[in-house]
Amino acid sequence: MGVTYKYFGAPDGATAARVPISMRPEELGGDELGRNGMFTKIKPETMAAMVLTGIEGVPLHRVPPLELVVLHPDYAVVKLPMTVVDPLRGIGEEAVGAAAFIWSTVPDRGGPRDAFNVYQLLHEWQDFSHRLHEAGHQAYCLVWP
Task: Estimate to the nearest angstrom the gap between the alpha carbon of 97 and the chain centroid.
Answer: 18
CA 89 vs CA 29, 43, 44: distances in Å: 21, 20, 18
Digit-coded pLDDT (tens) for 57-106: 888 788 888 899 999 888 889 999 888 888 888 888 998 888 888 888 77
* pLDDT at position 78: 94
Q: Does the structure show a pLDDT above 80 at 115?
A: yes
